Amino acid sequence: MKDEYSFAQAKKGAVVPSTKQRITIRLDADIVDYFKQQVEQAGGGNYQAEINAALKDHITGLKLVDMVKIAVHEAVHEELHPAA
């Protein structure tokens, strides 16, 4: 271990993964309260991370619904127009 360390190149603030993007968003107070309450009931955490996870789950669900719709469409098309 060094006797002294230089923080001349240090940056102020939290370390955030480069995959994260800082934005400003306005949410209804009851939405924010819900996620804060969920984090509190879980014994701690980050409500913003929970909002992010909920959005990812929603998007993943939409993608899954789209894949099912495509599969059903293809199956119906194949039944109505079988390959000769």
In angstroms, rounded to a whole number, what is the distance separating the alpha carbons of residues 65 and 54? 16
Task: Retrieve residue 36's tokens.
Answer: 């804060």
- Name the average pLDDT for the chain: 89
> Phi and psi of 21, rounded to 5°?
-125, 130
In angstroms, rounded to a whole number, what is the distance separating the alpha carbons of residues 50 and 31? 11
In angstroms, rounded to a whole number, what is the distance separating the alpha carbons of residues 34 and 37? 5
CA angle 63/56/15 to nearest 5° reads: 145
Give tens-digit pLDDT for 55-65: 999 999 888 88
Give tens-digit pLDDT for 18-58: 788 889 999 999 999 999 999 999 999 999 999 999 999 99
pTM (two decimals): 0.60
